[in-house]
């Protein structure tokens, strides 16, 4: 076992604090990664605050992990010592169910093993990336292309893939009108990726305060949802809407913005439900869908796509002692557009 420094939530209501955690011995198919950067996803906050249900504490979160391989098990063939690698939202799956065999292990019928707050095969609770090292099965480790900096690569492992996957699945591209609701971590990546895919991109944000940024990141149009006219002006006008909002909103108002056969894909994960008025779906034969992260193969495809198109997230690098303040800023939609922790600043906890 390896004892490593980490930042953990002691409970749902207390700030995160420095601590140590144990990492398992490197098994035959495992790689040991020295983590350099970890992004802060809103899911980290939902999880530690118990928004999605009770979890075991202390809990280390973080599933946008980038670093260097420092040790490999005897049977590892995919990653060598010194390789630049990433780990996203899952670290294992059953590998034998219909969905795993179809290459959709994020939808593993037995449940994929989340990078944190999940029960691992050995019965322990997985601990995430706000830590100096992690041990992961090589099949769930991604190659980070040379042209993407470590810091920029981190948010791609969740925000990047969670938006790339539905955009690719629902064929965002030339001639497609795509709207992105909420311009935070996921939303700003959706704008960049949809633009690179060739779609016409519209941002629907609470206010116009990020308009200049949105247009700079690749949006063609930008509207404030606080302005009621937005919902009448844009009625029946999108082929695809990606909703990244972390809170409840009037989803029917957004569904009405879909054109014939349009789909609204919800990736935002508010604790409360989103009640649907079915008549809204009857109009224009609309669809309401969800999407969860992406497969390992698709995550690699996304990393290579971002390298090819020069896509990188807008990041704010922070030291570990700023994590709690960063959480408050994310909750206030005051993030431009992803906080990334410099893991070298995770200090040894006081004895």
Output the furthest CA–CA distance in the chain (Å, rounded): 63
Q: Look up residue 176 and give its two tokens.
A: 């497609």
Please provide the DSSP assignment of 84-133 as one string: EEEE-SEEE--S-SHHHHTT-GGG-TT--EESSSSB-TTSPBP--SSBSE
The alpha carbon of 216 is separated from its chain's Cα centroid by a whole number of angstroms, namely 22
The answer to whether residues 24 and 3 touch, using CB atoms and an 8 Å cutoff, is no
Q: Look up residue 325 and give its two tokens.
A: 């303040």
Stretch that binds Zn ion, among 80-88, 99-107, 116-124, 268-276 (CB under 5 A): 99-107
Q: Binds 88, which of Zn ion, ligand NAP, none (CB < 5 to 8 A, cut-off by type)?
A: none
DSSP H helical segments within 118-277, as ranges? 150-155, 161-169, 185-197, 211-217, 229-233, 251-255
Stretch that binds Zn ion, among 36-44, 176-184, 243-251, 273-281 (CB under 5 A): 36-44
Judged by CB, which is closer to Zn ion: 93, or 126? Answer: 93
- Helix axis angle for 161-169 and 296-309, nearest 10°, is 90
39 interacts with ligand NAP by CB under 6 A? no
185 interacts with ligand NAP by CB under 6 A? yes
Candidates 19, 244, 295, 315: give the one binding ligand NAP (CB under 6 A).
Answer: 244
Judged by CB, which is closer to ligand NAP: 139, or 314? Answer: 314
112 interacts with ligand NAP by CB under 6 A? no
Q: Which of residues 325-344 bind ligand NAP (CB under 6 A)?
A: 330, 333, 335
258 interacts with ligand NAP by CB under 6 A? no
Residue 191 beta carbon to ligand NAP: minimum distance, rounded to whole angstroms: 10
- What string marks each residue from 146 to 175 as x (binds ligand NAP by CB under 6 A) or -? ------------xx--x-------------
268 interacts with ligand NAP by CB under 6 A? yes
Candidates 68, 83, 94, 253: give the one binding Zn ion (CB under 5 A).
Answer: 94
Stretch that binds Zn ion, among 79-87, 117-125, 150-158, 202-210 (CB under 5 A): 150-158
Q: Binds 293, which of ligand NAP, Zn ion, none (CB < 5 to 8 A, cut-off by type)?
A: ligand NAP
Q: Which helix (H) or strand (E) holds 44?
A: helix 42-48
Candidates 2, 125, 215, 249: give the one binding ligand NAP (CB under 6 A).
Answer: 249
Q: Binds 193, which of Zn ion, ligand NAP, none (CB < 5 to 8 A, cut-off by type)?
A: none
Give 161's Cβ-side CA count (13 Å radius).
Answer: 26
The answer to whether residues 141 and 65 touch, using CB atoms and an 8 Å cutoff, is no
Q: Which residue is nearest to ligand NAP (CB)?
A: 184
Nearest to 238 by CA among 250, 217, 226, 253: 253
Residue 105 beta carbon to ligand NAP: minimum distance, rounded to whole angstroms: 13
Residue found by looking up tokens 């691992």 in the block: 120
Residue 38, strand partner residues: 65, 341
274 interacts with ligand NAP by CB under 6 A? no
315 interacts with ligand NAP by CB under 6 A? no
User: Can you give the C-alpha Rg of the chain in angstroms?
Assistant: 20
Collapsed DSSP state (helix, strand, coil) of residue 209: coil
93 interacts with Zn ion by CB under 5 A? yes
Q: Whole-angstrom Cα distance, residue 227 to residue 234?
A: 12
Binding-site ranges for ligand NAP (CB under 6 A): 41-43, 46, 158-159, 162, 182-187, 205-206, 210, 244-247, 249, 267-269, 291-293, 330, 333, 335
Binding-site ranges for Zn ion (CB under 5 A): 41, 43, 93-94, 97, 100, 108, 158
């Amino acid at each position: 076992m390896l004892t490593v420094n980490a930042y953990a939530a002691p409970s749902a209501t207390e700030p995160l604090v420095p601590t140590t955690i144990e990492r398992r011995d490197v098994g035959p198919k495992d790689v040991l990664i020295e983590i350099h950067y970890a992004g802060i996803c809103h899911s980290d906050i939902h999880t530690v605050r118990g928004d999605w249900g009770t979890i075991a504490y202390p809990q280390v979160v973080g599933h946008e992990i980038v670093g260097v391989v420092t040790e490999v098990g005897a049977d590892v063939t995919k990653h060598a010592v010194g390789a630049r690698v990433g780990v996203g939202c899952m670290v294992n799956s059953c590998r034998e169910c219909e969905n795993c065999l179809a290459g959709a292990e994020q939808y593993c019928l037995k449940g994929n093993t989340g990078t944190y707050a999940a029960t691992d095969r050995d019965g322990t609770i997985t601990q995430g990336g706000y830590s100096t090292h992690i041990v992961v099965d090589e099949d769930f480790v991604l190659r980070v292309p040379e042209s993407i900096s470590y810091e920029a690569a981190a948010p791609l492992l969740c925000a990047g893939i969670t938006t790339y996957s539905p955009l690719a699945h629902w064929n965002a591209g030339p001639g497609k009108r795509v709207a992105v609701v909420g311009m935070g971590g996921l939303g700003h990546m959706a704008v960049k990726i949809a633009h690179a895919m060739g779609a016409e991109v519209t941002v629907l944000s609470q206010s116009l305060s990020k308009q200049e940024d949105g247009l700079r990141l690749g949006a063609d149009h930008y509207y404030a949802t606080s302005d009621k006219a937005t919902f009448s002006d844009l009625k029946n006008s999108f082929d695809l809407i990606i909703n990244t909002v972390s809170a409840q909103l009037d989803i029917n108002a957004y569904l009405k913005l879909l054109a014939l056969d349009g789909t609204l894909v919800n990736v935002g994960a508010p604790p409360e439900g989103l009640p649907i008025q079915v008549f809204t779906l009857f109009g224009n034969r609309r669809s309401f869908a969800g999407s969860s992260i992406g497969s390992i193969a698709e995550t690699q495809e996304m990393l290579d796509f971002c390298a090819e198109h020069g896509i990188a997230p807008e990041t704010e690098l922070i030291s570990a002692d700023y994590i709690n303040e960063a959480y408050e800023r994310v909750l206030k939609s005051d993030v431009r557009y992803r906080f990334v922790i410099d893991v070298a600043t995770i200090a040894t906890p006081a004895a």
